[in-house]
């Protein structure tokens, strides 16, 4: 090392003071150098990216916000008021997109179900919720409450047919039912596939391979048409219910494989230790094996959940009008022609918000479970 | 150590060899596929007896003690533990397992639970003990293995020796009648071996029935009532430790001892 530019000074042992870091090993300038300009390739990429953002972002912002029209009666008025996006259309249709054909006098039931869903999710997702025990009991009761609220027909609530379900509400109903039911089923299938009982194992393998081997759309078609051939004539079987069952089974098959991966990562010694303590099969699964296996499988599980939620749009194909379906049919409105950008962008934003929150939550969960476990 | 030896002597003389044995293995065979691992094993263990099993690697020591709590299934012969015949009957197996504690070479603590939970889950779920009582019990045994201050940490935050002592405490919390040890110190660094052996010696003083697979001959000398030597799936020799070390009968035992004691 050159000794001219560095003042060489010696201190008594143990007396060395803290010195400021040399230039360019910390601070914002250092960050820029390290991350944006560490090599010629890096500098080139930085410049290209900056140019790209400079070209793309301002017009996009102009279109989406500055030149956008938020209130207007129809497309023509929109065009007169501004050159940007015509959000007036989306806001006019907003309640329709959320509740679809749900009777307008009964919409408070959907709102209430939604608020109660949030209340059920808090203790479920956040383990420091006060009175979490009661919260969890409530969360277990929630599906029944929601069923009653949304469908009614007893305890003084007017019955609403599932034909009236649609829009965001339909996506939520299918997505959340699918997620809530497919996780336990997926766990059972994964355990069954590892079972020592050949019949159970074979049934699980056949089930999983069948549902993984067939596209979801096909399964939905089966649900909407073919199933009625197999069922005894006259037995009316709600279409939405059939869809829910099929989506759940489909997603459970995928989850089962994800969870099986986690189960296989558990060292044999864990099974032996819990066996040698005399824990019964279900106890050792619940207390020892699954907590570890599920923790490993979190990224894969959430991945499946996100896939499932996005796949709820496929019900469009069998004639159920989810958010995407409603949006698509809204485009045919003569008053508001040519606004597909606005509609599809809104739909995309909705799905992005939902899926991105799931993804963030999974990261939070992984980080929380990480502490202290690893050596 | 002298005191321990003396104590071992007195306990040894108090063992009643005529009474009902707590473990009786007779004519037991086991195969892994076509491989005949255990051949005609006969062994009776009296209550409070402490037995050390040694022998070359691959001789079937682990397999034999794992048959005692049926982590491995034997194909022929009888194993009776605490009056319960080890057959395919699941109910019997769980009953026996909760009476038999096992300590493994690689500790096998549950990494996702605190040390305290590791020690309380067995009593709570198998013995249906109230949580408060189980925790008091766990703290009692953690104190006995001298790591009560680690109770709220996770296994991954402990040293190997500490983990193994937790594993011992975890087994003791189940109040077992028999403790099985499968090379509890062979995954440990030398300084940790002694802390674990110390715990085991103290445990031996409590008149626990113990079967230890170990190559720690010093431990065998001070603590064991009987040393069993296995080779190629058979029990070649069994004797009191003094006799075993000073006057081995069988050629293979002599060879093994000459290798291990130098
Ligand atoms: N699951 C298994 N399948 C097939 N063979 C096995 C299995 N487990 C052990 N063996 C074989 O059985 C024999 C006895 O194994 P065991 O683990 O009982 O030996 P050990 O005496 O404990 O040896 P070590 O001192 O190395 O632990 C070995 O030859 C081993 O290769
Ligand atoms: Mg072994």
> Which residue is closest in CA terms to ligand 1's atom 18?
B60
CA of B32 to the centre of ligand 1 (A): 9
Domain-located, residue A224: yes
CA of A118 to the centre of ligand 2 (A): 53
CA of A281 to the centre of ligand 1 (A): 25
> Which residue is closest in CA terms to ligand 1's atom 5?
B32
In a 3-state reduction of DSSP, which class is residue B59? coil
Strand order in the sheet with B226-231: B100-103, B178-182, B209-213, B50-54, B226-231, B234-239
Please compute the mean of the pLDDT values over residues A197-224 and round it to a whole number: 94
Domain-located, residue A242: yes
Substitution site in B33, B52, B58 for ligand 1 pocket (most atoms within 8 Å of beta carbon)? B58
Q: Which domain holds residue A121?
A: 107-150
Task: Give pLDDT, residue A234.
Answer: 65
Domain-located, residue A8: no
Residue B88 contacts A where some CB pair is shorter than 8 Å: no
Structure tokens at B182: 């499968």
- Convert the pLDDT of each residue in A307-327 to its tens digit: 999 999 999 999 899 999 999
Residue B230 contacts A where some CB pair is shorter than 8 Å: no
CB atoms within 10 A of CB B24: 16
Residue A291 contacts B where some CB pair is shorter than 8 Å: yes
Residue A71 contacts B where some CB pair is shorter than 8 Å: no
Residue for token pair 């491995």: B72
- Residue A117 and residue A80 share a domain: no
Distance, in Å, from the CA atom of A268 to the CA atom of B66, rounded to the nearest integer, reads: 14
Distance, in Å, from the CA atom of B39 to the CA atom of B41, rounded to the nearest integer, reads: 6
- B154 interaction partners in chain A (CB closer than 8 Å): 372-373
- Residue A305 and residue A237 share a domain: yes
CA of B63 to the centre of ligand 1 (A): 6
Does the pLDDT value for residue A286 go beyond 50? Answer: yes
Does the pLDDT value for residue B23 go beyond 50? Answer: yes
Judge contact between B99 and B81, C-beta under 8 A. yes
- The chain-wide mean pLDDT, for chain B, equals 87
Task: Give pLDDT, residue B30.
Answer: 93
- Residues contacting ligand 1 via CB (< 6 Å): B 32, 35, 37, 55, 57-63
- A369 interaction partners in chain B (CB closer than 8 Å): 112
- Residue A296 and residue A168 share a domain: yes
- Convert the pLDDT of each residue in A149-182 to its tens digit: 998 888 888 888 888 899 999 999 999 999 999 9
Residue B212 contacts A where some CB pair is shorter than 8 Å: no
> Residue B180's closest chain A neighbor by CA?
A276
Distance, in Å, from the CA atom of B40 to the CA atom of A154, rounded to the nearest integer, reads: 71
Domain-located, residue A236: yes
Residue of A127, A269, A273, A291 best to disrupt the B interface, most CBs of B under 10 A: A273
- Test A273 with B98 for CB contact under 8 angstroms: no
> Residue B67's closest chain A neighbor by CA?
A276
Q: Which of A313, A221, A207 is nearest to A254 (CA)?
A: A207
- Residue A256 and residue A124 share a domain: no
- A292 interaction partners in chain B (CB closer than 8 Å): 110-112
CATH number of the domain that residue A307 is part of: 1.10.3720.10
Q: What ipTM was estimated for this complex?
A: 0.88
- Convert the pLDDT of each residue in A336-375 to its tens digit: 888 899 999 999 999 999 999 999 999 999 888 875 554 4
CA of B37 to the centre of ligand 1 (A): 8
Structure tokens at B69: 């709590």
- Residue A329 and residue A220 share a domain: yes
Does the pLDDT value for residue A6 go beyond 60? Answer: no
CB atoms within 10 A of CB B57: 7
Substitution site in B60, B229, B232 for ligand 1 pocket (most atoms within 8 Å of beta carbon)? B60
- Residue A169 and residue A127 share a domain: no
- Residue A283 and residue A228 share a domain: yes
Domain-located, residue A53: yes
- Residue A258 and residue A142 share a domain: no
Instruction: Determine the distance in angstroms separating the CA of B13 from the nearest CA of chain A, rounded to an integer.
Output: 31
Q: Which of B97, B153, B174 sits opposite A275 (nearest CB)?
A: B97
Task: Give pLDDT, residue B262.
Answer: 66
- Convert the pLDDT of each residue in A233-260 to its tens digit: 666 678 899 899 999 999 999 999 999 9
CB atoms within 10 A of CB A299: 14
- A365 interaction partners in chain B (CB closer than 8 Å): none
> Residue B124's closest chain A neighbor by CA?
A279
Structure tokens at B136: 């008091």
Judge contact between B50 and B224, C-beta under 8 A. yes
Separation of first and last alpha carbons in chain A: 38
Please compute the mean of the pLDDT values over residues A206-229 and round it to a whole number: 89
- Residue A199 and residue A71 share a domain: no
Query: Which residues place a Cβ less than 5 A from the ion ligand 2?
Result: B 62
- Convert the pLDDT of each residue in A16-75 to its tens digit: 888 877 766 777 888 888 888 888 898 999 999 999 999 999 999 999 998 888 998 888
- Residue A294 and residue A272 share a domain: yes
- For residue A222, name the pLDDT band (cuts at 50, 70, 90): confident
CA of B61 to the centre of ligand 1 (A): 8
- Convert the pLDDT of each residue in B176-225 to its tens digit: 999 999 999 988 888 889 888 988 898 888 889 999 999 888 889 988 99
- Test B69 with A287 for CB contact under 8 angstroms: no
- Convert the pLDDT of each residue in B33-90 to its tens digit: 999 999 999 999 999 999 999 999 999 999 999 999 889 989 988 899 988 888 767 6
Q: What's the structural domain count of chain A?
A: 3
- Test B97 with A283 for CB contact under 8 angstroms: no
Residue for token pair 């012969």: B77
Does the pLDDT value for residue B12 go beyond 60? Answer: no
Task: Give pLDDT, residue A24.
Answer: 63
Please compute the mean of the pLDDT values over residues A204-208 and round it to a whole number: 96
Residue A310 contacts B where some CB pair is shorter than 8 Å: no
Domain-located, residue A79: yes
Does the pLDDT value for residue A1 go beyond 50? Answer: no
Domain-located, residue A164: yes
- Residue A215 and residue A354 share a domain: yes
CA of A365 to the centre of ligand 1 (A): 40
Domain-located, residue A7: no
Please compute the mean of the pLDDT values over residues A127-140 and round it to a whole number: 90
Q: Helices H, strands E: what count in chain A?
A: 16, 0
- Residue A279 and residue A187 share a domain: yes
| Ligand 1 atom nearest residue B233's Cα | 14
Task: Give pLDDT, residue A338.
Answer: 85
Instruction: Determine the distance in angstroms separating the CA of B10 from the nearest CA of chain A, rounded to an integer.
Output: 31
> Which residue is closest in CA terms to ligand 1's atom 10?
B32
Judge contact between B147 and B159, C-beta under 8 A. no
């Amino acid at each position: 090392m050159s000794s001219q530019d560095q003042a060489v000074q010696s201190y008594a042992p143990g007396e060395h003071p803290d010195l400021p870091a040399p230039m360019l090993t910390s601070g914002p300038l250092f960050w820029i150098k390290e991350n944006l300009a560490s090599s010629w390739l890096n500098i080139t990429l930085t410049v290209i990216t900056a140019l790209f953002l400079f070209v793309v972002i301002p017009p996009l912002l102009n279109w989406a916000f500055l030149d956008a029209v938020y209130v207007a009666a129809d497309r023509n008025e929109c065009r007169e008021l501004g050159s940007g996006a015509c959000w007036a259309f989306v806001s006019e249709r907003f309640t329709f997109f959320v509740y679809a054909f749900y009777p307008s006098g009964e919409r408070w039931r959907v709102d209430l179900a939604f608020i109660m869903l949030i209340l059920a999710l808090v203790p479920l997702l956040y383990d420091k919720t006060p009175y979490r025990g009661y919260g969890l009991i409530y969360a277990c009761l929630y599906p029944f409450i929601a069923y009653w609220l949304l469908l009614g027909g007893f305890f003084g609530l007017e019955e609403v047919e599932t034909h009236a379900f649609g829009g965001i509400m339909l996506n939520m109903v299918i997505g959340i039912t699918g997620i809530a039911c497919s996780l336990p089923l997926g766990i059972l299938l994964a355990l069954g596939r590892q079972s020592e009982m050949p019949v159970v194992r074979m049934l699980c393998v056949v089930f999983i391979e069948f549902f993984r081997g067939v596209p979801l759309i096909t399964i939905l078609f089966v649900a909407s048409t073919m199933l009625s051939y197999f069922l005894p004539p006259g037995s009316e079987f709600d279409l939405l219910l059939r869809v829910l069952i099929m989506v759940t089974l489909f997603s459970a098959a995928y989850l089962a494989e994800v969870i099986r991966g986690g189960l296989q990562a558990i060292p044999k010694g864990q099974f032996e230790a819990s066996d040698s303590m005399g824990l019964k099969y279900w106890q050792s699964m619940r207390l020892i094996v699954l907590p570890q296996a599920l923790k490993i499988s979190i990224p894969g599980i959430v991945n499946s959940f996100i896939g499932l939620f996005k796949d709820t749009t496929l019900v469009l194909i069998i004639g159920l009008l989810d958010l995407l379906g409603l949006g698509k049919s809204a485009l045919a409105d003569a008053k508001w022609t040519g606004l597909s950008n606005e509609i599809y962008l809104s739909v995309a934003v909705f799905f992005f918000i939902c899926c991105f929150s799931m993804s963030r939550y999974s990261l939070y969960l992984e980080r929380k479970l990480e502490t202290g476990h690893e050596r | 150590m002298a005191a321990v030896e003396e104590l071992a002597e007195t306990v040894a003389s108090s063992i009643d060899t005529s009474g009902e044995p707590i473990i009786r293995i007779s004519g037991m065979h086991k195969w892994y596929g076509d491989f005949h691992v255990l051949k005609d094993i006969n062994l009776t263990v009296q209550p409070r007896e402490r037995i050390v099993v040694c022998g070359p690697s691959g001789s079937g020591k682990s397999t034999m003690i794992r048959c005692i709590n049926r982590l491995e299934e034997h194909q022929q012969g009888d194993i009776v533990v605490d009056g319960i015949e080890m057959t395919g009957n699941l109910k019997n197996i769980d009953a026996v397992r909760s009476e038999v504690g096992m300590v493994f070479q690689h500790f096998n603590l549950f990494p996702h639970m605190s040390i305290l939970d590791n020690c309380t889950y067995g009593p709570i779920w198998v013995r249906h003990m109230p949580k408060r009582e189980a925790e008091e019990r766990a703290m009692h045994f953690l104190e006995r293995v001298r790591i009560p201050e680690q109770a709220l940490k996770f296994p991954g935050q402990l040293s190997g020796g500490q983990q193994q002592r937790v594993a011992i405490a975890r087994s003791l919390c189940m109040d077992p009648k028999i403790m099985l040890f499968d090379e509890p110190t062979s995954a440990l660094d030398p300084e940790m071996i002694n802390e674990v052996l110390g715990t085991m010696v103290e445990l031996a003083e409590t008149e626990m029935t113990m079967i230890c697979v170990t190559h720690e001959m010093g431990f065998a000398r001070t603590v064991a009532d009987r040393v069993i030597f296995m080779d190629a799936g058979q029990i070649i020799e069994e004797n009191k430790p003094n006799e075993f070390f000073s006057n081995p009968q069988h050629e293979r035992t002599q060879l093994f001892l000459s290798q291990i004691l130098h």
